[in-house]
Amino acid sequence: MKTISVEHLCRVEGNGGISATIDGKKVTEVKFNIYEGPRLIEQLTIGRTPEEDVSLAPRICAICTLSHKNAVLRAIEKALSVKVPKKTILMRELMHMGEIIESHSLHIFLLALPDYLGYPNAIAMAAKYDLEVKIGLEMKNFGNHIMKTISGRYIHGENPVIGGFGKFPDKKDLLWIKSRAQQFMPFVLKTVSLFCELDYPEIPEDETLYACCDPGNGKFGFWGEKILLSNGESIPADDYKKLTNEFVVSHSYAKHSLYKGKPYSVGALARINNLGERLDGEAGRKFKKYFNEHWKKNPLYHNAAQALEILYCFERIPVLVKKILKDENTPKIIPYSVKEGKGTGLVEAPRGLLIHHYEIKNGLVSNVDIITPTAQNAEDIERYCYIATQKLLDEGQEEKIRDRMDLVVRAFDPCISCSAHSAQVRQGKTDEWKSKLETILTHEEPAFLGIGNFRQGDDAVGIFIGKQLRDAGQKNVWLESSTNEMESFWKSNAGKPVIFLDAIDFQEKPGTVTFLPLLYALNNSSLVHKFSPFVTGPLKYNQLKKSYILGIQPASLKRGKTISPCVKKATREVLETLKSRQKKNRHFKDKE
């Protein structure tokens, strides 16, 4: 078992894709692929001065460049004990609102809406939905304008620096922003009703855990010192790793996150779920009007949540401008002299929780950790796509899978390019499990664990295969029997991939073999199987990620019955595959 470093940086928006593999009536694999290569940005910033870092790190992403800017500034200012004045904080909030408006309006109007209205892109949609496209473009332009006024340009503005700003914007520019925000209100309200009343399909609803910053003081907002989870837990900024535990998955250059072995969601929907009660004004009224049970489990409501947040920003901007103009004699930049320290900055980027962590030694950056929202969402994106695909398959609506996955991925707003062009459905051959099992065995040496109950008909199949495997000389095979044996199993296999052998009811033809990542079996509520409690306990996230379940569709689970013939037949097939693999391995070893 190798150690995977969490010292890294992931880049997500840009070139990506999602694919689902179907084997008969089952989805055996969903992959959220990131085709873009590694940029190693964290590694690039090590050894640089904090100032250089503030300029380099936001280049991770163009769409949330200012979120990165705010996060790196919060982290570094904390590390170097720089206390910025109130006006500076207010201006940073204002530019952040610009980004939220820009990013959300681009997403909901220009990228997501064409799906719901049936167009390939927004420009084509403009012919009939002229007003919607115009509102979208104008809103986006307004967001951009705010970003440019305060940060210096649309993308990668350099005006925000450690300790403040290179230059404060002119009063008249700020006043223009304020009055424009007020004038735009009718269109904002239209936006909210449009997206909160859209007809979002119910597939793929499923519960998840939501995480976002807690702005404190019972307020809504886009940054804070603590992470709030929808189960009520709260994690201080410095302990962020408790939440994010990132790990590398081989099909992508982005890293994924799990909390206690389970995926969680971040983003506008997470914020509205966790903090929506705190909204006041018009946004508060709209929240009360529209929020319901669906918002808690349907990722497609990200779109509606984003619309609500746009409204929040439009209401907040005039207040911010007024406050900013009141503070006239604020110094532009607060100088500092500290050369060592550590700090974590939490910010809510448009698409969710963004974490920057820095350690500074001798005036140079010595350690960096950046965790982006899409890295955290990646697992849930795969899971929801899996759920959607499986449900549509169950309902015999295979033709809808591609579009639905597209819709789900895009709702997470992971990155512009993936959101426009992502889904791919691959039809696996019925016996694809064989080749998959073989691939895994070439790369890994997993432990096998036979699960089941001997006296319960086909449920014996897991134990049965396990026994036969042992007899055939396969190493590291275990059987679910006594608690003692289980304990030593976990002890000697910590961190190793495990292949669970069991009878699982997938509503398939009896005797059908299924081989799929354990993660799907655990997180899909339609597949919850009796063994899940004991599996989730000792399994560590990276072990879980590498483990699989090899299941056989039982014919009967009646007490006292013996294994039915069709299941026996499948068992033989499984054994043969495993044995032939064993031979190959031996042959390989001999050669060495």
Partner 1 sequence: MENSKLKIGIYELTGCAGDALLILDCEKELIDIFNAADIQSFVMAKSDNIEGDLDIALVEGSVTTEKEIEELKDIRQRSKIVVAIGLCATVGGIQARFLDPKEWNERFKKVYGNIEMTHTKPVQSKPIDAYIDVDFYLPGCPIGKEQFLIFFTRILKGNPPEKSQNPVCVTCKYNENDCLLKKGILCLGPLTEDGCGAICINHNLPCAGCWGPLKTGNRTSEYYLLKEKGFDVEHIKKKMANYSGTKIASFLKELEKEKK
Binders of partner 1 in range 22-81 (CB under 8 A): 33, 35-44, 47-49, 52, 55-56, 59-63, 65
* Nearer of residues 250 and 484 to partner 1, judged by Cβ: 250
For residue 458, give the amino acid letter: D
> Least separation, in Å, of the C-beta of 149 and partner 1?
11
Neighbours of 64 (CB within 10 A): 29
Q: How far is CA 581 from the centre of its chain?
A: 35
* Among the listed residues 522, 530, 475, 474, the one whose alpha carbon sits nearest the alpha carbon of residue 502: 530
Residues 66/147, Cβ–Cβ less than 8 Å: yes
* Nearer of residues 253 and 520 to partner 1, judged by Cβ: 253
* Nearer of residues 38 and 473 to partner 1, judged by Cβ: 38
Considering only residues 248-307, where is the footprint of partner 1 by CB under 8 A?
Answer: 248, 250-253
Which of 98, 157, 299, 554 lies at the binding interface for partner 1 (CB under 8 A)? Answer: 157
> Least separation, in Å, of the C-beta of 58 and partner 1?
9
Q: Cα–Cα distance between 18 and 37 in angstroms, integer?
A: 16
> Least separation, in Å, of the C-beta of 442 and partner 1?
11
Considering only residues 172-191, where is the footprint of partner 1 by CB under 8 A?
Answer: none
Structure tokens at 22: 């179907």
* Nearer of residues 512 and 543 to partner 1, judged by Cβ: 543
Structure tokens at 560: 């006292």
> Least separation, in Å, of the C-beta of 67 and partner 1?
13
Cα distances (Å, whole numbers) of residue 64 to 70, 88, 557? 10, 19, 53
- Only segment of 180-188, 245-253, 488-496, 508-516 that touches partner 1 (CB under 8 A): 245-253
Q: Cα–Cα distance between 433 and 424 in angstroms, integer?
A: 20
Structure tokens at 499: 């292949």
For residue 311, give the amino acid letter: L
* Nearer of residues 59 and 226 to partner 1, judged by Cβ: 59
Considering only residues 407-466, where is the footprint of partner 1 by CB under 8 A?
Answer: 415-417, 420-421, 443
Which of 76, 106, 324, 549 lies at the binding interface for partner 1 (CB under 8 A)? Answer: 106
Considering only residues 366-395, where is the footprint of partner 1 by CB under 8 A?
Answer: none
Which of 18, 75, 110, 270 lies at the binding interface for partner 1 (CB under 8 A)? Answer: 110
Residues 130/160, Cβ–Cβ less than 8 Å: no
Structure tokens at 374: 């899409």
* Nearer of residues 440 and 447 to partner 1, judged by Cβ: 440
Instruction: Please give the angle made by the CA atoms of 551, 246 and 538, to the nearest 5 degrees.
Output: 45
Structure tokens at 12: 């997500």
- Only segment of 8-16, 351-359, 384-392, 466-474 that touches partner 1 (CB under 8 A): 8-16
Structure tokens at 526: 């339609």
> Least separation, in Å, of the C-beta of 74 and partner 1?
19
* Among the listed residues 66, 107, 93, the one whose alpha carbon sits nearest the alpha carbon of residue 269: 107
* Among the listed residues 59, 106, 146, 98, the one whose alpha carbon sits nearest the alpha carbon of residue 420: 106
165 binds partner 1 (CB under 8 A): yes
> Least separation, in Å, of the C-beta of 352 and partner 1?
17
DSSP string, 39-90: --HHHHHTTS-HHHHHHHGGGG-STTHHHHHHHHHHHHHHHTT----HHHHH
Binding mask 200-239 for partner 1 (x = CB under 8 A): ----------------------------------------
Residues 518/500, Cβ–Cβ less than 8 Å: yes
> Least separation, in Å, of the C-beta of 38 and partner 1?
5
Half-sphere exposure of 82 (CA within 13 A, CB side): 25
> Least separation, in Å, of the C-beta of 160 and partner 1?
10
Neighbours of 340 (CB within 10 A): 13
Number of chain positions touching partner 1 (CB under 8 A)? 72
Residues 508/24, Cβ–Cβ less than 8 Å: yes
Binding mask 126-155 for partner 1 (x = CB under 8 A): x----------xx-xx--x-------xxxx
* Nearer of residues 120 and 473 to partner 1, judged by Cβ: 120
Structure tokens at 568: 């026996």
Considering only residues 511-530, where is the footprint of partner 1 by CB under 8 A?
Answer: none
* Nearer of residues 42 and 502 to partner 1, judged by Cβ: 42
Which of 161, 189, 334, 425 lies at the binding interface for partner 1 (CB under 8 A)? Answer: 161
Cβ burial of 155 (10 Å; 0-12, 13-18, 19+) is middle
> Least separation, in Å, of the C-beta of 365 and partner 1?
11
Considering only residues 328-357, where is the footprint of partner 1 by CB under 8 A?
Answer: 332
* Nearer of residues 214 and 246 to partner 1, judged by Cβ: 246
What Rg value do the Cα atoms of the chain yield, rounded? 26
* Among the listed residues 488, 503, 497, 492, the one whose alpha carbon sits nearest the alpha carbon of residue 554: 503
* Nearer of residues 141 and 488 to partner 1, judged by Cβ: 141
* Nearer of residues 134 and 584 to partner 1, judged by Cβ: 134
* Among the listed residues 466, 537, 467, 460, the one whose alpha carbon sits nearest the alpha carbon of residue 499: 466
* Nearer of residues 126 and 575 to partner 1, judged by Cβ: 126
Which of 81, 83, 131, 166 lies at the binding interface for partner 1 (CB under 8 A)? Answer: 166
Structure tokens at 258: 């799990």
* Nearer of residues 326 and 443 to partner 1, judged by Cβ: 443
Q: In what order do the strands lie in the sheet with 423-428?
A: 26-34, 16-23, 423-428
- Only segment of 244-252, 311-319, 445-453, 500-508 that touches partner 1 (CB under 8 A): 244-252
Structure tokens at 282: 């018009």
* Nearer of residues 332 and 470 to partner 1, judged by Cβ: 332
> Least separation, in Å, of the C-beta of 96 and partner 1?
17
